[in-house]
Structure 1
Amino acid sequence: MHSLAFLVGVAACASQVAAQAYTWKNVHTGGGGGWVGNVIFNTKQKNLAFLRTDIGGAYKYAPATDSWIPLVDWANNAEFDYWGTESIATDPVNPNNLYIEVGLYTNSWDPNNGTILKSTDQGATFTSIPLPFKVGGNMPGRGAGERLVIDPNNNNVLYLGARSGHGLWKSTNAGLTWTKTSLTATGTFAETPSDTSGYNSDPLGVGWIVVDTTGPSTAAGTSRIFVGVESIGSPSIWVSTDAGATFTAVPGQITNYLPHHGILAPAEKSIYVTYVDESGPFDGSHGVMYKYNITAGTWSNITPAQAISDNSYGFGGISIDAQRPGVVMAASLNQYYPDAQIWRSLDGGASWSTLYNYSYPPPNYQLAITRDYTWDISVAPWIQSYTTDTKQIGWGIEGLQIDPFDSNHFLYGTGLTLYGSHNLEQWDTVHNITLACLSQGIEETAVLGLVSPPTGAHLVSVVGDIGGWVHDNLDVAPPTLHVPVWGTSNGIDYAGNQPLSLVRTGGSAGQLATSTDGGHTWTQYANAGSLSSGKVAYSANATSIIWTPGSGVYVAKNGGAFVASTGIPSNAIIATDKSNDAYVYGAANGRLYVSKDGGATFTLTNVLGSAQSSNGIAVNNLGKAGELWTTTEHGMWHSTDFGKTVIGFSGGLTQGYAVAVGAPSTTGGTPSVFVAGTVNGVAGFYRTDNNSGSWSQIDTPQFRFGSVSGALLAGDPRIYRRVYIGTNGRGIFYGN
């Protein structure tokens, strides 16, 4: 054991935190990279539309550039769940009014009740209105909707469908206060009732509300409203004829599927409903579509014949064309082979045409697809490397909308991106449209690893679900993902003395690959064995790979098999010295461990005060061996002698998470150190240039990056004060 000390002489300096004038931009990928729940058009103002995601917040449409503007980047650590968006309502009377229902989880993963974010300037500013229950923007069934609606006959009246048995709520003062209605059907379906985490066992609740503007109304608002609740085996669609005072089940309805979406077709005086047998957005093996004639009180099964024949998926997004009565479009949920399908009807669902057809013609009887569209992914060419099979249209399609002012413009969200077209009406003539990725401005990845090597690309990333990129140009979409494409890639590192040598891990057994050209090409590691997921570190000369898959610490040397390291806890976080190939550092439970043999054996060198957790570790990436920083729930510790002695930063930094090292102001000078943590009681992102504990806050009122503990950092060793922040849902940012 070696000595430790506290840096006490800088307390006065540390107590004054300067706000640094940083400029922040998203690292551009162009394709979104996550699930898009729905697009909500305003029905009064042309080109006014909003978009919701499950973990990446809400966006506003920018028609001049056909792109999207994020609206909730100001959400700070305490407001991290504002990035979970369950529903959006844009006012059909006063388009300046916007309501966003936010919250991530209804189980213990999110400690907060839900919130209504209200704007009176189309999303430029917001007021937060607390709800008395939780909201599940990233829960099963998040594709149902919309759960939040405004009454066009009295825009002070809003209805909100809740989860978890909380029922249907109503506001009569523009969302400021809410009262539970008398609807006793609360939507009892749960994906897995036995799930002890509460994620799959929570009832899906009230899925959608339709305010029937074709019926009677009073000064208090529309009298007749329809409500869809997520239940199977009992009535799931209910109607009120007294503005929500009382409800009755709509006669003649089916009860063997979940009604995920209900939309009003005013010219037809009908409601279209899509059904599925599971929660969605990524499951569903059976379903139907129905149309309810409000005047006659009758139901019609309008399920396309091809879907009845396939009998392997349900239905999600559905939309009418407000300019052309009888035109309706719908999407499958989830059809994984050979692709999702989109249907279009010109006669109110009596007949349907499809976006593609497939067959198995002789003599070989191999799959043949006739696509009635041109696929344009030029804004995100890397999508081609992700879509390695027959899927182009997508999956998880719960939101599909035709622009109410432009019959040629439609949009739909998938589990990967946002697609749509600006020549939709060609479907009805030449039957060939341009189906384009229209996700410019949306960045929705959950970032799992970042490195900024001293040579090659300034940034290489790994992210959840789609893998990650080499970012040769931070402002241009990369041409390809990491190949092989594994879906989720969990960890990445580079060898300090050979910085074009990289290693990354994937989420399945044996997924580990190395690169010798800065990440542009990858080779599967032959001796990865059955390990999976977790983080990875590369020794300075690329002779040792240290892997922490969650079940321990493992090391492989010179291309050999992985064996368990000794002398270090299984939950340790690891960093390799970027100059000395033999040294590897580990931190766990408020203790520092050092290996002098490339990660084979570790020795406990220091106990970091009273800390019980180890949250982050970083090393000098500028050619100086033996220098490292590590963070705990009680701050940050620094060593310059290979961990023999450590100094604690006591001046203001009381809690630390991710830590990173970047370029100094002058060559050979003290490096900049970046940390996500709490300084003087304020959770945020900070930088110090002198290792003294004098901190500058680098997040700004416009960019707070959500959860501090969930963020990742990488300092750029070539550009002074440049830092990269990886978020859980809004992709990667870079700041100067």
Structure 2
Amino acid sequence: MYSSLVLSVFAIGIGTAEAVHKWSNVKIGGGGGFVPGIVFNEKAKGVAYARTDIGGLYRLNADDSWTPLTDAIAQSASWNRWGIDAVATDPIDPKRVYAAVGMYTNSWDPNNGAIIRSSDSGNTWSSFNLTFKVGGNMPGRGMGERLAVDPNNNKIIYYGARSGHGLWKSIDQGVTFSKVTGFTAVGTYVADPTDNSGYSNDIQGLAFITFDSNSGTVEGATSRIFVGTADKTTSVYVSEDAGATWRAIPDQPTGNLPHKAKLQPAQNVLYLTYSNTTGPYDGGTGSVHRYDITSKTWTDITPVKGGDLYYGFGGLAVDLQKPGTLMVASLNSWYPDAQIFRSTDSGATWSPIWEWAAWPDQNLYYSYSTPKAPWIDNSRQADDTKVLGWMIEALEINPFDSDHWLYGTGLTIYGGHDLTKWDTVHKVTIESLADGIEEEAVQDLASIPSETILLAAVGDVGGFTFKKSLSTVPREGWLTPLLTTNTGVDYAGNNPTSVIRVGNSNEGKPQAAISTDGGVSWSVHPGAQTGQYGGKVALSAGADAVIWSTTSSGVLLSHDSGTFSEVSSLPSGAVIASDKRNATVFYGGSSGTFYISTDSGKTFVKTTALGSAASIRDIAANPTLAGDVWVSTDVGILHSTNYGTSFTQVSKSLTNVHQIALGKGSGSYWNVYAFATGPNGDKLYASGDVGTSWTDIQGGQGFGAIDANPLAASKDTAGLVFVGTNGRGVFQGSGTVLATSVSSAVATLKTSTRLSSVLTARSTKTKVITTPRTIVISSIRTSMESSSGTIPISTSVTGTVRKWDQCGGQGYNGPTECVTGTVCTRQNEWYSQCA
């Protein structure tokens, strides 16, 4: 998983800049997403691959861990190649592996798909670009595998497409593909014909391709090939002449859709699972069937009947060491848990992995633990009965080891190494075996100075706090409340142990939580109300005010943990940030206009339109200096040292800038990090000299689409930066970003971005606010119209400081006497507050 990338060097401006960054995953562990397919090579021991819907392809290692294989091909322009809709391993040359890549078949993905191929076990890739799209994250993505290598002639590869594009064939090991015109079925099932988005109303296409290795050859090619289609009437086809002609198999099951088909060559039998939908989230009924190839007869071997059959079947495994032994899994059994069945007599009888005792008790024929990812078990809610998982489409028995089995869920990969106990003591061991798979969709990141290394707000599985180590899997996720998806997180600049997070959940509960110990423990924000959710959040430097730019309810404000109320002066959906030193200041951006609040978020006023910028994407405040603020836009990065009253474009070398972050540098300045279009294309760039020069620190590491990637940087460790991805978890990059000679045009910015104290900054010509005292709005309006561009501090400062406001710290020269009932308490060297 850990690899070193030597990056290209670009110096933009005066002097030169060099940087070598090493990239690796922050270890959340446990997978964190849907694994729709696992494939073992049937001829080479230890060769197996797992595909994910949004996080690429992985290779199994001997110690049960996994290695990611497709990071390098998922650059910003090719972000869709982390969607893996099918995978095939070559039974003749086990080092060869193929995958169908692409994320969506609708308008969400502007790119066509591809068939990628590797001759070195996935270390490097070449591709054949298709003329149509591939749907690795579309409905039906757990069906398959839609890609298969001829076991008698590995130059021949078949691929079953979606969207009516039919069956495709390569005769040159995937260098080129052409359509099989003799196969006319296209798989016409549509999940939701009323969906106008194109996501659920696209036809599902072909479901699987399975070669019969017993069938002999025609001119060197395997003669018998089975193809399944997403149709509820005629769905399974066969060719007896190596694909020259095709026919539907007579007497086949109807009414459901085939999901998986596995050959048991010793029996000359094809086993199939069916569900009434294509999944992966649904399925209310289904069946399991056995097709005897010799007698050409079908047998219904569904494990349960009648009222017990309330789910479809997805996962299917056959034991190649024990003919007649097979397993099937419920596609989705939401209550009380998933169900897995095992048969040792070709499906005549079955044993379940659990069964009812006296309701609501269950007899469990397994032991369960998650030592490689303890948060999976420790973060489960008390009313969540699902242990075995959901969305089970991948289920495999190691063809060389009958005790080793794996299955993929919507969360992780489970499995174990004592499977044959099922047939004797009927008690198998199940663990999370997804070590190395990081499939989380990261929504936001924050790095807290001197306290918490990283806070990661994550989709679907909540969020995580990394207090001491980035390589130790968290023991638990964010609880109390457990939000299904956390969308935003922020900390108080003057009181870094104070943290807030917001998110989405379908539980009808408040969607904001606060922490006073740097994200170790949480409680519901008292002012959050149901119906307010999503978006981003900004916590004031003094931790007493919260601005929440929600998805549901516009921009909201809470003071002193009070009820959130609307902020009408800031447009809905605005980008927000808090000044990290001045407790009364918040920033906002909407379209191309910058806003500031100097009354703790009660009102926002426009400071200026940012030149030709039409879109403000992100706002980053200097961690140690009030009024120093950076803004990313569609035309570049703009920098202000006077609270946004005026801005300077720091460099024209970067355009179309998305997320930005400030982190500790190795010299006199904060490093500035930015996802942007620059000399090396759409990449992550860094500057160690206030934007005078920029270096591509991403190199060959893929992060997917850069416009969706959260970005944060360490305030304590020089050169440490964090990237959140949509499907590959969080990356950490470490290295040195050297500064060039700073040009005279930006020399005046040197002091305002130094890592030294705020006291140093007061020597600059630009007047800055170093205290959280109230700024008079009328004074700001006047200063905006003046040529000086400064923001005067209100002179109406009383001799006492209210609760939670600043009363001391480096650079502070205001009142130190607290209101009755509070005491001036030191938080850190920069900040003391009345508490």
TM-score normalised by the shorter chain: which range applies?
over 0.9
Q: Which residue of 2 aligns with 1:6?
A: none
Question: Do the aligned residues in 2 keep the contact of 1:30 with 1:379 (CA within 8 Å)?
Answer: yes
Shift of the alpha carbon at 1:17? 8.0
Deviation at residue 180 of structure 1 after TM alignment: 1.5
Q: Distance in 1 between matches of 2:15 and 2:103?
A: 34
Q: Quick one: distance in 2 between partners of 1:649 and 1:310? A: 66
Rate the CA distance shift 1:33–1:16 in 2: closer, same or farther, 3 A: farther
In the other structure, the counterpart of 2:758 is none
Q: Bigger shift: 531-540 or 509-518?
A: 509-518
Count of matched residue positions in the alignment of Structure 1 and Structure 2: 714
**Corresponding residue to 1:428 among 411, 423, 429:** 423
- Aligned equivalents of 2:526, 2:554: Cα separation in 1: 20
Match of 2:407 in 1: 412
Determine helix, strand or coil for the equivalent of 1:657.
coil
Task: Kindly indicate whether residue 645 of structure 2 is the aligned counterpart of residue 644 of structure 1.
Answer: yes
Counterpart-to-counterpart distance in 2, 1:556 and 1:171: 61
Partner of 1:368: 361
Q: Which residue number corresponds to residue 219 of structure 1?
A: 219
> Helix, strand or coil: the match of 1:618?
strand
Aligned residue in 1 for 2:355: 357
The equivalences for 1:214-293 within 5 A come to 214-232=214-232, 234-293=233-292
Distance 1:601 1:107 in 2: 41
SS in 1 for 2:266: helix
Change in 2 beyond 3 A, CA 1:49/1:245: same
Question: Cα distance, 1:396 vs. partner?
Answer: 0.5
CA-to-aligned-CA distance 1:412-452 (integer Å, 9 cap, x gap): 00000000111111111111111111111000100001111
Q: 1:707-726 counterparts in 2 under 5 A?
A: 707-726=705-724
Determine the structure 2 residue equivalent to 1:513: 513
Q: In the alignment, what sits opposite 2:178? A: 179
Q: Could you tell me which of 480, 486, 490 is aligned with 1:489? A: 486
Q: Is the 8 A contact 2:112 2:131 kept in 1?
A: yes
Which range is displaced more, 185-194 or 325-334? 185-194
Distance 1:21 1:680 in 2: 17
State the match for 2:591 in structure 1.
589
- Whole-angstrom CA distance in 1 between matches of 2:725 and 2:699: 15
Specify the code of the residue in structure 2 equivalent to 1:205: G
Q: Which residue in the other structure is 1:135 paired with?
A: 134
Q: 1:455 aligns with which of 444, 447, 450?
A: 450
Greater shift, 218-227 or 194-203, is seen at 218-227
User: After the TM superposition, which residues 304-453 of structure 1 pair with which residues of structure 2 at under 5 Å, given as runs?
Assistant: 304-305=303-304, 308-359=306-357, 361=358, 366-388=359-381, 389-453=384-448
Amino acid at match of 1:36: V
Task: Give the letter aligned to residue 367 of structure 1.
Answer: P
The amino acid across from 2:348 in the alignment is: A
Find the aligned partners of 2:386 and 2:678 in 1 and give their Cα distance. 48
Query: What amino acid is aligned across from residue 597 of structure 1 in structure 2?
Result: D
- Structure 1 residue 168: Cα displacement: 1.0
Q: Which amino acid aligns with 1:470?
A: T
Give the direction of change, closer, same or farther, for the CA distance of 1:497–1:319 in structure 2 (3 Å limit): same
**Which amino acid counterpart does residue 640 of structure 2 have in structure 1?**
S
Deviation of the 1:471 alpha carbon: 1.0
Which residue is equivalent to 2:539? 538
Deviations 1:203-246 (A, max 9, x none): 110010111122231234011111110112x2011111222222
1:656 match: 657
1:5 is matched with: none
Is this contact kept in 1: 2:12–2:653, CA < 8 A? no
Which residue number in structure 2 is paired with residue 477 of structure 1?
Answer: 473
8 Å Cα contact 1:19-1:698 kept in structure 2: no
* Cα offset, 1:15, TM superposition: 9.1
Cα offset, 1:712, TM superposition: 1.0
Q: Which moved more, 1:342-351 or 1:124-133?
A: 124-133
CA contact under 8 A between 1:99 and 1:119: conserved in structure 2? yes
Deviation per residue, 1:379-431 (Å, 9 max, x gap): 11001133322211110000001001111101000000000111111111111
SS in 2 for 1:81: helix
CA deviation string 1:572-619 (max 9, x = no partner): 110000111111111111221111111221111121121211211111
Mean CA deviation greater in 546-555 or 418-427: 546-555
After TM superposition, the structure 1 = structure 2 runs for residues 78-97 of structure 1, keeping only pairs within 5 Å, are: 78-97=77-96
When residues 217 and 533 of structure 1 are mapped into structure 2, their CA distance, relative to the original with a 3 A threshold, is: same
1:248 and 1:476, CA in 2 relative to 1: closer, same or farther beyond 3 A? Answer: same
Q: Distance in 2 between matches of 1:295 and 1:48?
A: 31
Residue deviations 1:124-174 (CA, integer Å, cap 9, x gap) = 111121012110000110000000000101111111010001111111111
Could you tell me which residue of structure 1 aligns to residue 499 of structure 2? 502
Residue equivalent to 2:564:
562
Looking at structure 2, the residues matched to 462 and 358 of structure 1 have their Cα atoms a distance apart, in angstroms, of: 37
Ranges in structure 1 where 5+ consecutive residues have no aligned partner: 1-10
Q: CA deviation at 1:18?
A: 4.8
Contact 2:629 2:643 in 1 (8 A): yes
- TM-score of the aligned structures, taking structure 2 as reference length: 0.84
Contact 1:17 1:695 in 2 (8 A): no
Q: Distance in 2 between matches of 1:511 and 1:656?
A: 30
Distance of aligned partners of 1:447 and 1:227 in 2 relative to their CA distance in 1, 3 Å threshold:
same
**Contact 1:385 1:485 survives alignment (8 Å):** no
SS in 2 for 1:469: strand
Show structure 2 runs of 5+ residues with no match: 1-9, 735-835
Shift of 1:620: 0.8
Question: Partner residue of 1:49?
Answer: 48
User: 1:681, CA displacement in angstroms?
Assistant: 5.3
Percent identical residues:
46
Indicate yes or no: 2:525 matched with 1:525: yes
1:172-212 Cα distance to aligned partner (Å, 9 max, x none): 11112222222221111111112111011111100101111
Distance in 1 (CA, whole Å) between partners of 2:626 and 2:18 is: 31
CA distance in 1, matches of 2:131, 2:597: 51
Local SS of the residue matching 2:77: helix
Q: Return closer, same or farther for 1:368/1:17 CA change in 2, 3 Å cut-off.
A: farther
* Aligned position for 1:59: 58
The separation in 1 between residues aligned to 2:396 and 2:185, in whole angstroms, is 28
Q: Secondary structure at the match of 2:462?
A: coil
- Report the CA distance between 1:330 and its aligned residue: 0.8
Higher-Rg member (1/2): 2
State the distance in 2 between where 1:379 and 1:399 align. Answer: 20
Q: CA deviation at 1:680?
A: 2.2
SS in 1 for 2:12: helix
* Corresponding residue for residue 8 of structure 1: none
Q: In structure 1, the residue corresponding to 2:496 is in which secondary structure?
A: strand
The equivalent of 2:123 in structure 1 is 124
Is the CA contact 2:44–2:94 (under 8 Å) kept in the aligned structure 1? yes
Q: Alpha carbons of 1:12 and 1:273: their partners in 2 closer, same or farther (altered >3 Å)? A: closer
Residue deviations 1:648-694 (CA, integer Å, cap 9, x gap): 1333101210101111335xx42111111111251111111111331
Q: 2:574 matched to which residue of 1? A: 572
Q: Which amino acid aligns with 1:630?
A: V
The one-letter code matched in structure 2 to 1:735 is: G
Please state whether the residue corresponding to 2:708 is helix, strand or coil: coil
- Contact kept? 1:684, 1:704, Cα under 8 Å: no
Which amino acid letter does the alignment assign opposite residue 615 of structure 1?
R
Match of residue 189 from structure 1 = 189
Q: Which residue of 2 aligns with 1:735?
A: 733
Distance 1:328 1:647, change over 3 A: same
- Aligned letter for 2:670? P
Q: Are residues 655 and 18 of structure 1, via their aligned partners in 2, closer, same or farther at CA, if it must alter by over 3 Å?
A: farther
Greater relative contact order (CA < 8 Å, ≥ 6 in sequence): 1
Structure 1 residues 554 and 535, CA gap change in structure 2 (3 angstroms): same
CA contact (8 A) 1:41 1:90 kept: yes
| Conserved 8 A contact 1:619-1:629 | yes
Q: 1:538 corresponds to which letter in structure 2?
A: L
Deviations 1:482-532 (A, max 9, x none): 002121111111111111111111203521111111111111122212211
Structure 2 vs 1, CA of residues 290 and 463 (structure 1 numbering), >3 Å: closer, same or farther?
Answer: same
